[in-house]
Structure 1
Amino acid sequence: MREVIKHLHHSLRASAFCTGAFLCLLFGSSALADEGQLKGVKQEISRQQNQVATNRKKVDQIQKSLRQQEVGIAETAKAIHQAEQRSGELETSIRSLRQQLEQLRQQQLGQQELLKELLNAHYKQGKQSQLALMLSGEDSSQLDRFTVYAERLSQARSHALDELAATTTELQLKQHQLAEQQKEQQALLAKLTKQKRKLESERSQRQKTVNNLRSQLTTDNQYLAELKENEQRLIKEIEKARAAAEAARRVPMDGLAKQKGKLPWPVKGQILHSYGTSQQGELHWKGMVIAQSAGSPVKAIYPGKVVFADWLRGYGLVLAVDHGKGDMSFYGYNQTLLKKVGDTVQANENIALIGDSGGQAQSSLYFEIRRKGSPTNPRAWLTR
């Protein structure tokens, strides 16, 4: 009797069918005909069913927490990415401003020297006034030349003064711009430091949730059931996205038919799982998993339009791109998404950052290609 109940304990976790089969065996066996024993077995069945339901609720709650945490991580990671981009732009601008300032200072020095020469010439010319020249008996043509020279000298001095004033004003403006950008850069670096600390804290909390999730999915059957449900969720979202893309399409897209073996890799790295290999039980991978460090850019393989950009249980932050004629590419496990639904993307354009969302053990990219809703080996479409 103990061995039968022990067998029941394991069978109940596998499926409801096993429970029914066991009951048939129970009623068919004279050894289990005793009413007291039957009552005890029914109580055990009820207890196991309640435990399964309780575990299911726990898993659902943990997955909900995981989503909240990973979406929070995505927002922080995106803010860091944007801040780092702005920091790079500021660094380039500051470097350019410093070069401009140096050029303006050199220009200012040259203008100051020219003005000194003009002032000296004007001073010397002033010592030979027209009255002195007239008294000296010089002819009128000589006087005219000196008059023209004096006028041109005065004009040159005035022009030099204007240029020097303009250079000085521009120099002051550039100095102000430089000071403002340096101030912005300092504030940005302080913000980045704070955001990175926040990201570390969020990732630490996420890891606890992932560990908790794994502790709940203790048996192969539980894990397999979770994977199956996750796959069905993905298929459902794919169909919705495909239908929405068809309904909203205004400009025809040529699809991937002519691109086999020509498409760029979404990310380069070690292939952890290949298309068609065993995932768990009878489940096989419908795409490929490529390892890469967190925060690395994920690139679109071909021009298209984003039709899905959200967190999906088991796949984390997923982005789907419609390429036309029923062809779509999917990018999962991301740390954050850089595009939203409706955005148009080009081949090799950054669309996401590598992560481990969806409860993955390491940072990687889940990459899948589907044609008219059916998965195809993505490796065959990428360049060798």
Structure 2
Amino acid sequence: MKGKYLRLQARQYASVLYTGVFLCVTLSSPAVAESEQLSGVKNEISRQEKQLSTSNQRLNQLQSSLKKQEQAIGGLARQIRQLTLSTQSLQKQIASLQKEQRHLEQEKIGQTEMLKDLLDTYYRQGHKSQLQTLLSGEGSAKQDRMTVYAEALAKARQEAIDALSETNRLLAEKRSAIARQKQEKESKLAKLKRKSDQISKEQKAKKKTVSAITQRIRNDKTYLSELKNNQQRLEKEIKAVAERLKVKMDGLSPYKGKLSWPVRGRVQHTFGSQQSAELRWKGMVIGAKAGTEVNAAHDGTIVLSDWLRGYGLMVVVDHGHGDMSFYGYNQALLKQVGDKVKSGEAIALVGNSGGQKSDGLYFEIRRKGKPINPQSWLTR
């Protein structure tokens, strides 16, 4: 009887224990599930943040590569321009020397003919000696005249010989100078060819980098973010420039509608037109052939000449009184910070830096930091 009671008591205890465990597990499951779900969300956020950080790092690396490539292209383009100008100058010098050579050759022909005539006269006169003159019974006065004439003839002959000798010397110099100039020209043309080949390689590498960047910012959200960041970088650069400006000029106020066009071409984007869903152009884009000279719109001082993300190789000119003009997307920069420039003076070469798809110039005017429509300030 006692054994039966103990077995029943054990079964009751086990039932109570099982029920307790079941209740404990049932009550704790939502908390465990919620904790696990929260942990999963945190892990996903962390993974996405890491992925985004890696993506941004890769984009920054690509932009850094683009900067180096475009700066290299800019340096090569500048060298090519200098070599081209130098070669053109040499060609003008060669043409001038050849003109002088032809003139000297004509002088030489005239001098040679003159010397022939003088020599002929001199020797014909020489056949008649003073003894013959005496025997002929001619007077001393006539003899004196003949002597003077012979001396003058001899002097003229010597002068003609000296002149011809000098002409020959000058001709030799011109021929030597022309040969040197032609050799230098050939050397520069060969160097120009090497630089042109080099720039072609750099441009191919740049094209790949731009394509990779485009892939990185292909969705609208990333593209918009990049555009906004570009504008912020420009604003930051303007602020930094404004803080270090010391030169004061008369500004642009008196010249509205009179400023020089920085480059002539079709206006591809106008001030205020839509750049993206949320952003509008703060300047204008003028299409032009790569390598075309970009000219200062007005007198001023160069306050920025560098690569700026989104705008490529950029030049900023300060005109005083808080007025500045901006020139972006360039292939090469021709001026340095601190240089004084005149209206219409070449300051850069048109390009497509900053990752642009086509050649052109980004042109912007700001008055006291605020962008204004640049087209209304240019000559009609």
What is aligned with 1:317? 313
1:203-352 correspondence to structure 2 within 5 Å: 203-245=203-245, 247=246, 249=247, 252-352=248-348
State yes or no: 1:372 paired with 2:346.
no
Higher Rg: 2
* Separation of aligned partners in 1, 2:229 and 2:370: 17
Shift of 1:239: 2.0
How far apart, CA to CA, are the structure 1 residues paired with 2:297 and 2:218?
A: 37
Letter in 2 for 1:51: Q
Residue in 2 aligned with 1:22? none
Segments of 5+ residues of structure 2 without an aligned counterpart are: 1-29
Instruction: Specify the alignment match of 2:132 in structure 1.
Output: 132
> Could you tell me how far 1:106 is from its partner in structure 2?
1.1
Aligned residue runs from structure 1 range 90-101, under 5 A: 90-101=90-101
Cα shift at 1:193: 1.0
Q: Where in structure 1 are there 5+ consecutive unaligned residues?
A: 1-29
**RMSD (CA atoms):** 1.5
Structure 2 CA distance, aligned partners of 1:135 and 1:372? 107
- Residue of structure 2 in register with 1:170 after alignment: 170
Match of 1:358 among 354, 369, 377: 354
Counterparts of 1:320 and 1:217, CA distance in 2:
27
- 8 A contact 1:242–1:322 mirrored in 2: no
Which region of structure 1 is more displaced relative to structure 2, 274-283 or 158-167?
274-283
- Give the distance between the partners of 1:144 and 1:254, measured in 2 at CA: 83
Amino acid at match of 1:69: Q
Q: Which residue of 2 aligns with 1:82?
A: 82
The residue matched to 2:94 in structure 1 has which SS?
helix
CA distance in 1 between partners of 2:312 and 2:340 (Å): 22
Q: 1:174-189, aligned counterparts within 5 Å?
A: 174-189=174-189
Structure 1 residue aligned with 2:12 = none
**Paired amino acid for 1:164:** L
TM-superposition CA deviations, 1:207-257 (whole Å, max 9, x none)? 000011111113211111111111111112122223322x2x2xx422110
| Amino acid in the other structure paired with 1:122 | Y
Normalising by structure 1, what TM-score? Answer: 0.88
Q: 2:121: which partner in 1? A: 121
Aligned pairs, how many? 350
Answer whether contact 1:287 1:368 (CA < 8 A) is retained: yes
Tell me how far 1:36 sits from its aligned partner: 3.1
* Paired letter, 1:323: H
- Matched position secondary structure for 2:358: coil
Name the CA distance, whole Å, in 1 between partners of 2:159 and 2:357. 71
Q: TM-score, normalised by structure 2?
A: 0.89
Deviates more, 1:111-120 or 1:130-139: 130-139
1:327/1:371 contact within 8 Å kept: yes
Give the conservation status (yes or no) of the 8 Å contact 1:78–1:337: yes
- TM-superposition CA deviations, 1:252-300 (whole Å, max 9, x none): 4221101111111101111111111122232221111111111111111
Superposed displacement of residue 339, structure 1: 0.9
